[in-house]
Amino acid sequence: MSADANALFQPFTLGSLTLPNRLVMAPLTRNRAAEGDVARDITATYYSQRAGAGLLISEGSQISHQGQGYLRTPGIYTPEQVAHWRKVTDAVHKAGGRIFIQLWHVGRVSHTSLQPGGAAPVGPSPLQAQTKTFLEQGFAEVSEPRALELSEIPGILRDYENAARNAKEAGFDGVEIHAANGYLLDQFMKDGSNHRTDAYGGSIENRARLTIEAAEAVLKVWDKGRVGIRLSPAKVNDAADSNPHALFSHVVERLDKLGLGYIHMIEGATQGDRNAVDVDYAGLRRSFSGAYIANNGYTRDMATEAVSSGHADLVAFGRLFIANPDLVERFRLNAPLNEPNRATFYGGGTEGYIDYPALGEAA
């Protein structure tokens, strides 16, 4: 099949926004927030350097102190965090870009040292995840969680709604709900991590309930075209489901009824095997009438094929956007790409953050 070489550079209408091309910067945790978990000025530089993307999605930003699971990730629940994010959105808009914020609650993937009052992290069930977090002293096992009480769920939904309102005040163009990668919403959806017997556990409908309610909370604040959600049917961060296709067919059908602007699908294992799980992504895409953002290990050629064939409307790139601030221009010219340096992905300062050169600039 001959893919249309220009497919990635056609505009796309996402709700009331016009995106100039089909390339999305994926949400990327960089652990560079300052005291108070506020975005730094270098973060405004970092995102504005990448404003050529059709859409930027911010790094996961916790909706509450309880929602934090790694050191120095930015929040969106205090006035200071809103004020600092405002500098980022202003810089992106000045550079001609558009940016959504990713709203994040990590659930059980956290550590007592990051939680309010040194408390245990919360999850659907008291099951410790076999995964690591990132602390001052480096990587560490996550802590043993406690199960959320039914009476605490309305408070979590209020945190989503408040964070959505704060995002608007901070000047974002929309929000993406992080329901992927083994964090709170994904933990509730998958039966490996959710052993509850109340209205939020058991059947697929019950396990999906928190995700749907979180989306409804955000929709109290934002027009539906300005809300997207990220999903990962595969096992990630120790959250696995016994029948991911059935689970995510239901979830996508419910999200379609809510009319969300997009689903952002991590196809296969995050940063790993694209065939890690038996899920018909094309089928999920057909049952959703909003936009489909495909992600995970895409190259320029794969993305061109995905958009030309109609598999995806947009394609999100993570590591390639870390290393190539001008990724859109490089793809347009089929120019060589900078290699990402894994050693500077998480934590630190400007190095490996705002010093990757654009084409024509010295390294």
- The one-letter amino acid code at 310 reads G
The nearest distance, CB 153 to ligand 8OZ, in angstroms, is: 22
Closest contact distance (angstroms) between CB of 113 and ligand 8OZ is: 16
222 scored as a contact of ligand 8OZ (CB under 6 A): no
Q: Which is nearer to ligand 8OZ, 270 or 304 (CB)?
A: 270
**Backbone region of residue 261 per phi and psi (left: phi > 0; alpha: psi in -120 to 50; beta: other values):** alpha
Residues 252, 285: Cα–Cα separation, whole Å: 8
Please say whether the dihedral angle defined by the alpha carbons of residues 242, 245, 250 and 132, taken in this order, is positive or negative: positive
Q: Per CB under 6 A, which of residues 35..64 are in contact with ligand 8OZ?
A: 60
H helices of the chain, in order, are: 41-49, 79-94, 153-169, 184-189, 204-219, 244-258, 281-286, 300-308, 319-323, 327-333
Q: Examine residue 352 and tell whether it contacts ligand 8OZ (CB under 6 A).
A: no
Number of residues that bind ligand 8OZ (CB under 6 A): 5
| Cα–Cα dist 146/119, whole Å | 9
Tell me which residues in 253-292 interact with ligand 8OZ (CB under 6 A).
270
By CB under 6 A, name the one of 21, 81, 181, 338 that touches ligand 8OZ. Answer: 181
- Please say which residue, 70 or 100, places its beta carbon nearer to ligand 8OZ: 70
CB of 28 to ligand 8OZ, least distance (A): 7
Q: Is 70 in the site for ligand 8OZ (CB under 6 A)?
A: yes
Which of 178/330 has CB closer to ligand 8OZ? Answer: 178
- And the tokens for 359? 């084409």
Q: What's the rounded Cα separation, in Å, for the pair 233 and 37?
A: 30
| Cβ 60 to ligand 8OZ shortest distance, Å | 4
- Catalytic machinery residues: 183
CB-CB neighbours of 329 under 10 Å: 14
- Contact residues toward ligand 8OZ (CB under 6 A) are 29, 60, 70, 181, 270
